[in-house]
Amino acid sequence: MPRIIVQKFGGTSVGDTSRIRRAAARAVAAQQEGAQVVMVVSARGKKTDELVSLAGEFDIEPPAREMDMLLATGEQESVALMAMALREAGAEAVSLTGGQIGISTDDTYGKARIRAIKTDRLREHLDAGRIVVAAGFQGVSDSGDITTLGRGGSDLTAAALAAVLGAERCEIYTDVPGVFTVDPRIEPAARKLSRIGYDEMLELASLGAGVMHSRSIEFAGKYGVPIEVRSSLSDEPGTLIARAGAPARPVTGLALVRDAARVTLAGLPDRPGVMAEIFRRMADRAIPLDMVVQDLSVQGIAEVSFTVPQEDLAGALAAAKAAVDALDGAEVTVGTDLAKISAVGAGMPDRPGVAAKMFRTLADIGCNVELVTTSEIKVSCLIARDRANEAIRAVHAAFELDQAADADAAHRDDHPLSPQEQRVRTVVEGLQGMEDIVVADVSLDAHQARLSVRPVPDRPGVLADLFEAVAGGPEDDPSTGATVDMIVQNVSHAGHAAISFTVPESEANYAAELAAAPAVRWGEGAVQIDPHVAKLSVTGVGLRSHTGVGLKLFAALAEAKVNVQLIGTSEMRVSVVVAANEGERAVEAVRGAFGIG
């Protein structure tokens, strides 16, 4: 079988005729080296944005079907021009729309999911020696309507075509020479990574690193497609996104979401079903919830905060008010002009002090942290938007991300599939739709303890003091520190906040002693321990991008009458802490809901 290479060119890489010619020359060169080539092309420059604003002139809320019809034209223009450029360069070429390729999707206009891709037509053209120029970002629904895959969706088209064609690799050509430790537009000292694992890239992409579309990484990881991100303007080697072992550094990269808004539902009853009610109302309005923070209840009263993109604030607020009314809650408050800064690294689980170091760095620049959520490979903090760039630069420097240490790339090369990766492969084989969610596992860690420190002063440095103490000092010495798992901080009230975290059951008393020291220094804050809690985790691919997952999880817990104490979410895992004696019941209910035996 001839080898196949997929090359994707983003908007900036086909912005004018000289760039189109340059892209065409790359494809021709790859063909001359003996590969069959599929190009995936996005709309030129800012074309998609222009079409969006043009539509806005006619109708405040244009019909989704017509929007897709309109937006798909951007890519149709580029593929035709690219095919002409290829012919000019002496190659045989054919342009195809999503429908002509046979990319079938569901009918969720504006963010359709790929169900299946037919490859016969593609293969016929390739075998006839043609370069296929495929329109990115689009497909066709069962009813024959044009659909689009969501902004930035050409990356997804490329990864999907590479997967179904069994391509040797998928090259993403863009205006930066690879994936950097952070967006180089924010921090010029950012460094290019030579290799990064799917899990880390998936987290970074979903936490705001705009260089790759997160659904394309989901896809590539699920189907094992190696992706290389590189510059369309130079020949320097890019970044390989592939399976990777543990990195030598605790933090691989940082990501920023600049347009976050916070919604807090206060005075909620502390009983099963509350989260399910909230998630249902958000899902009904298709509001994407980002950070979800629920801290321990006080005297039977609970509080939940989450962040949403600023543009979804009005819808989220309406849904939150309706949920509070239905639950006899007290009030809804909002915070705007916020940003989320996240540190990601597959090396984090072995380095307990990562969160502490991030908190200390933010404290040192006087930046207050409003919410905190963590998962095993990331820490996210919500801060004021006007401090975001400064915060990114400080955290980047603190983790020495500007310094070359990517020599570890070599040892991150091929390694055997982990049991989780093996399970993902098995689930993928049985999927109905190519982008369906993969829930690989529902597990229970029944030996955790939860510690809550409250009230704590709401000022910079408090989180740092606490987690430095618990981690055994600023140098994060594992022999003197406790192993912190989940960290949750909800929004403060009247100058006081509360912080909760989990540790292994055996370390509960020791961690409480360590946590008590800073509380004494602050002159306030008592440490409460629940020595027996259970952490239930749903692990898989695409958990956050499928809004229905949270709903299904919380509905199953509500039905089993299990109360949720803490929540932690990431792309690969949603974890909830429940009372130890409810753990087994919870896991059974959730396994049932996700059809896992």
Ligand X SMILES: Nc1ncnc2c1ncn2[C@@H]1O[C@H](COP(=O)(O)OP(=O)(O)O)[C@@H](O)[C@H]1O
Ligand Y SMILES: N[C@@H](CC(=O)OP(=O)(O)O)C(=O)O
Smallest gap from Cβ 240 to ligand Y, in A, equals: 19
Alpha helix ranges (H) inside 494-577: 508-522, 548-559
Alpha helix ranges (H) inside 430-487: 462-471
CA angle, residues 345, 535, 538, in degrees to nearest 5: 65
Q: Which residues contact 367 (CB under 8 A, 6 or more apart)?
A: 383, 384, 387, 390, 391, 460
Residue nearest to ligand X (CB): 10
Smallest gap from Cβ 431 to ligand Y, in A, equals: 24
Q: Which position among 7, 31, 36, 48 is part of the footprint of ligand Y (CB under 6 A)? A: 48
Cα–Cα distance measured from residue 223 to residue 162, given in angstroms and rounded to the nearest whole number: 9
Binding to ligand X, residues 223-282 (CB under 6 A): 253
- Taking CB under 6 A as the rule, does residue 209 contact ligand X? yes
Smallest gap from Cβ 359 to ligand X, in A, equals: 22
* Type of residue numbered 488: V
Q: How many CB atoms lie within 10 A of CB 480?
A: 12
Name the one range near ligand X by CB under 6 A: 7-15, 61-69, 122-130, 554-562: 7-15
**8 Å CB contact between 92 and 131:** yes
Task: List the strands of the sheet with 146-148, edge to edge.
Answer: 114-117, 103-105, 138-141, 146-148
Cα–Cα distance measured from residue 504 to residue 525, given in angstroms and rounded to the nearest whole number: 22
Name the one range near ligand X by CB under 6 A: 46-54, 205-213, 422-430, 493-501: 205-213
- If contact means CB under 5 to 8 A according to the sort of partner, which of ligand X, ligand Y, none does residue 43 touch? ligand Y
Query: By C-beta, is 145 or 390 nearer to ligand X?
Result: 390
Binding to ligand Y, residues 108-147 (CB under 6 A): 136-137
User: Residue 528 has which token pair?
Assistant: 């409460």
Query: By C-beta, is 182 or 487 nearer to ligand X?
Result: 182
Cα–Cα distance measured from residue 133 to residue 31, given in angstroms and rounded to the nearest whole number: 13
What binding mask, one character per residue, do residues 66-85 give for ligand Y by CB under 6 A, x or -?
Answer: --------x-----------
User: Residue 133 has which token pair?
Assistant: 């120029």
- If contact means CB under 5 to 8 A according to the sort of partner, which of ligand X, ligand Y, none does residue 176 touch? ligand X
Q: How many CB atoms lie within 10 A of CB 483?
A: 16
Query: By C-beta, is 73 or 194 nearer to ligand Y?
Result: 73
Query: By C-beta, is 99 or 136 nearer to ligand Y?
Result: 136
Omega before 250 within 30 of 0, i.e. cis: no
CA angle, residues 232, 234, 236, in degrees to nearest 5: 110
Q: Which position among 99, 153, 221, 250 is part of the footprint of ligand Y (CB under 6 A)? A: 153
- If contact means CB under 5 to 8 A according to the sort of partner, which of ligand Y, ligand X, none does residue 206 touch? none
Binding to ligand X, residues 140-199 (CB under 6 A): 152, 174-176, 179-180, 182-185
Beta bridge mates, 568: 575
Query: By C-beta, is 11 or 518 nearer to ligand Y?
Result: 11
- Taking CB under 6 A as the rule, does residue 395 contact ligand X? no
- If contact means CB under 5 to 8 A according to the sort of partner, which of ligand X, ligand Y, none does residue 102 touch? none
**8 Å CB contact between 31 and 4:** no
Using CB under 6 A, list all residues that contact ligand Y: 10-11, 42-43, 48, 74, 136-137, 151-155
Using CB under 6 A, list all residues that contact ligand X: 10-13, 152, 174-176, 179-180, 182-185, 209-211, 253
